Structure 1
Amino acid sequence: MSGGGATLVLQSHAPAALGPWQRACLDSVAAWAADRGHAYRFLDDALFDGIPGWYMAKCRDHGRMATAADLGRLLRLREALEAGAERVVWLDADVLVIDPSRLALPEAVDHAFGVEVWVQPGADGRPKARRNVHNAVCLFRPGNPVLDFLIHGCLRLVEALKPENGFPPQLCGPRLLNALHPLVRFPLIETVGMVSPLLGADLIGRGDGRALACWRRAAADLPPPAALNLCASLHGRTVDGVLCDAAYYDGIREAAARLTG
């Protein structure tokens, strides 16, 4: 892979599986990259090149291909740096840029990850928010020690899994990052957030407004989001009482700007 120097933005998805709302997400990122003068590259199944067969087999057997993608993106990011990119950025294929003028990358760091405010029902049924580090957006520069460490961590975590103990979701993505963040304090990209189903329902008029109010309180110290991960992995499922169907995603695409006000 040719890195091309300067900043390279990478995204990946199986093209045949893309719906209209997700194509709009990809187009928004490509347009933002072009406007900023960043190189842009879209990958398909090349995302999984170089992942050991045993790792892929465990992910397939347990329905955790997202964990294969977590390692794949790290390998592609490292590959791009080795090919000459001065900075390489990953954005998930379900990230929608809603305010490109404010989607700026931190300059004085050699690695960074996104931060989200996730709203879901608490034990009492009321919306509760928690803040998480996520890898729907991440950036790396050459020579940083974090990228190789995370690749090593992914391999060790999956290698150590025993079939009888199951395979936790998000093991090599947010779960790993959030285990490390309290100790090492990763630099954060604060303008790429995430829409949980409960928050999404409020945005499109299916909810009672409490999740949106909860989100606003919990995110009050963060800048308004310039981009949002819409969580395509939930497509077709009912989560926290919210059906994440095509109409749901189309509605969020149209209403996402409400979070910037």
Structure 2
Amino acid sequence: MKTFIKWFIYSTIMVAAFCHHALQAEEYQEELEGVWRGELVLQEGVSITLGINVDNGQLTLDSPNQGMFDHQPTKFSVKDNKIEFTDTSLSASYQGALNDGQLEGTFTQGKERSITMHKLTQEDKARLTYEATYKGDLPVSENSSLPLQVNIAVVHDGYIATLDSPAQQSFGIPLTDVHIDNNTLSFKSPMIQASFNGKKTTEGYEGTFKQGQEFPLTFKKAGSDEKQASTPTPELGEHGAAVAIIDQDEIKTQFYGEHDHNTQYEIGSVTKTMVAYLLA
């Protein structure tokens, strides 16, 4: 009889412990449900938004500043208080855990970067209506204009925005002091010493872009069917190159692909460094 009582007590404790673990896992699972956003710092002063969406145990990724939404990773895991995913197309992976209401983890794409994500509140979600790409044409002369676009992403209690100039092959210019509502849009860019202030009209956010001088500019929200301009994706395959090593009086060269001594290269703004060195 005593043996039975001991077994019963032991079994009861084990069942209680199992149920507690199951309830704890279920509690974490429920807390992980939602839209998570965080600031991924690429380098000092340059960052983009990384988003994780968990819906009924399914996971998708957002990168609003790059125009990527609901991307399905190659594989993922949402278990207990942890989220993990890997994606071969992005050559990226993530491991994170819930800690005091925040999702703390590491995003790896080339190098490891720490990132803390916050779940969007109902007030944050209400601002998702402003999350979009806004396009405008900056008049630089009487006969020409420069296309610009602002990519606005919602994070907890704020926005992260970037500026693109596709014609100049400039992407991801960080913006600060971003404000947008039904009446106004404004931002600054310390990197290029520019700012914009505009008011909402039937045409979009109509205002003034300042960079040395003032230019009239109207930003219009891009439609869902309009693709966001991005850095061209390189073609896969073998590409040529040339390498030269100067060691005292000896010069060693190595060519790749079909390149040789007669191949010409466009070095662009690298010449600025050479000219500056010569002038110095």
TM-score by length of 2: 0.23
User: Which structure shows the bigger proportion of residues in helix conformation?
Assistant: 1
Q: With CA pairs under 8 Å and 6+ residues apart, which has the higher RCO, 1 or 2?
A: 1
User: Which structure shows the bigger proportion of residues in strand conformation?
Assistant: 2
TM-score by length of 1: 0.24
Highest CA radius of gyration, 1 or 2? 2
